[in-house]
Structure 1
């Protein structure tokens, strides 16, 4: 029996004999159906809607690119783009700064370091709606704890999210509080991977704390900071839940980002065609932004201590 089996195997693998390709379709087909149903079809349908004038309760009318041509002349859309840029820039820069500082502090060995690390990452594990409700109470001009803390140091009370000039910085404060721990965890991984030899050499040369950080630590953790920045940029540019739960884009439209304007157009004014056009443009912007960040990440050389981009 074994000889017959081996002979059959040799005959099957003999050169010149055609090999029958295995069929993978029974295994691939379910996943393909799921991808088509969940991802591809909704986007194709969104593109189809963006080419039509479609308001709830009215018949659809094909308008071509009219919805897209309407965007540059829409002042509210331009305002939402500006709010998105400002909110994203601050929501990326501040967590990077504070997260790097926290990572350097928690990388040092001191009693209770593990417990404090766990306590520090708790904001990242909370749900956005719960965070929004807590911070809404803290932002209250009369009853909020933030104005009470300002009064203790002699500073005047602020309107926080209830004034157009301070609403975006206040929302960035919430974003920074929630996502600084994520940057800290990423940078901690980079600090753990740094060899000890450069620090020993710097100690022998008499380098100070700032010099060690500037010329050794910062260049070596730069790849990890870049990854953290990529994650924060993509997450902040499409932020919705925190802003909607706290301000709903207000006061007026002072904190209305592209995501919130899209929601208002599609689900408050029921202009599904124009809302779909905004969704398509917003998706293209996110994809382009992610592609640029990935390109920069691949083009950046991290080879030497003190090496830059």
Structure 2
């Protein structure tokens, strides 16, 4: 009976497994294979050959931009996710405490998150323009010197601020949805015992919504690590390579300045390898939060 049930279940999940293999596992295996070759879009047909770990050796020992792109990606991810988590939680708590016009406020907050990345890049490129951008117009209006927001020293900061503006609403929505599930009994008991709002938040509310926060943190971290669209639309990795995150470095190696698909594939494999420990750590945190 149990065996028959298992066979029946397989009929239902088989299509999903086939799709998973076709769109995930097979391309990943193909990526590994290509990373071990000298595949170049500019090379003549039939000249493809196996080079072993030569592409990886090139990235580690010769390609200095590879290491810089890792550093830029880490800075971008850590700062963006950290600020968004704190700011998003604070806004969610404020929304939960003041429920007047709740739907209107929620609708307005999510606007940055639903706008197309290409449109966001275009809007911010105009706003940050040194000569006629609205931000520098306001700065000059109060007697200060204009800021080169997309200069070599400030471009990464500008991208971080834009990411915070765009994705803090996501943290707000996830946190706010978690706050709606907090039972009133523990909060009332804590209030009767004389606990302050901060104590109730620390010992009652946050432990209850920690699984949701952990999942949110995981998804947002992955999103930051693979960031491409807005960075490319706003700076294309420049000036120089001051904002060249790993995904942009892969794109430049494979399709823009060079056509070294083999080396770009090796870079993509290393990005995956670097991401796995982060995902594993955050996933364990999610499991631990659920067991509490």
Q: TM-score, normalised by structure 1?
A: 0.82
**2:209 aligned with 1:221:** yes
Give the gaps of 5 or more residues in structure 1: 1-12, 14-18, 304-309
Match of 2:252 in 1: 264
For 1:178-198, what per-residue CA distance to the aligned partner results, in whole angstroms no more than 9, with x for missing partners?
Answer: 111111111112211112234
Match of 2:97 in 1: 108
Match of 2:87 in 1: 98
Q: Distance in 2 between matches of 1:155 and 1:219?
A: 46
Q: How many Å apart are 1:151 and its aligned residue?
A: 4.0
Residue 258 to residue 27, structure 1, CA distance change in 2 (3 Å): same
Q: Distance in 2 between matches of 1:267 and 1:223?
A: 40
Q: Distance in 2 between matches of 1:52 and 1:77?
A: 19
Q: How many Å apart are 1:211 and its aligned residue?
A: 4.1
C-alpha contact (below 8 Å) 2:59/2:66 kept by paired residues: yes
Q: Distance in 1 between matches of 2:116 and 2:104?
A: 21
**Greater displacement, 147-156 / 79-88:** 147-156
**2:37 aligned with 1:48:** no
**RMSD in angstroms over aligned alpha carbons?**
2.6
* Candidates 156, 161, 172, aligned match of 2:160: 172
Match of 1:250 in 2: 238
Q: Distance in 1 between matches of 2:182 and 2:95?
A: 15
Q: How many Å apart are 1:207 and its aligned residue?
A: 4.5
Q: How many Å apart are 1:299 and its aligned residue?
A: 3.0
Q: How many Å apart are 1:114 and its aligned residue?
A: 1.4
Q: Distance in 2 between matches of 1:206 and 1:26?
A: 57
* Candidates 42, 45, 48, aligned match of 1:57: 42
Give the gaps of 5 or more residues in structure 2: none
C-alpha contact (below 8 Å) 1:91/1:232 kept by paired residues: no
Q: TM-score, normalised by structure 2?
A: 0.87
Q: Distance in 1 between matches of 2:105 and 2:10?
A: 51
Q: How does 1:24-35 map to 2 (within 5 A)?
A: 34-35=19-20
**Greater displacement, 30-39 / 134-143:** 30-39
C-alpha contact (below 8 Å) 2:42/2:259 kept by paired residues: no
Match of 1:295 in 2: 284
Q: How many Å apart are 1:201 and its aligned residue?
A: 3.9
Match of 1:77 in 2: 66
C-alpha contact (below 8 Å) 2:190/2:200 kept by paired residues: yes
For 1:41-82, what per-residue CA distance to the aligned partner results, in whole angstroms no more than 9, with x for missing partners?
Answer: 322222221111122232222211111122222211000000
For 1:9-68, what per-residue CA distance to the aligned partner results, in whole angstroms no more than 9, with x for missing partners?
Answer: xxxx9xxxxx9x968888777655544443333222222211111222322222111111
Match of 2:271 in 1: 282
Q: Which protein shows a greater Rg?
A: 1
Q: Distance in 1 between matches of 2:25 and 2:239?
A: 37
Residue 29 to residue 205, structure 1, CA distance change in 2 (3 Å): closer
For 1:84-137, what per-residue CA distance to the aligned partner results, in whole angstroms no more than 9, with x for missing partners?
Answer: 000011121111111111101111234322111111111111111111111111
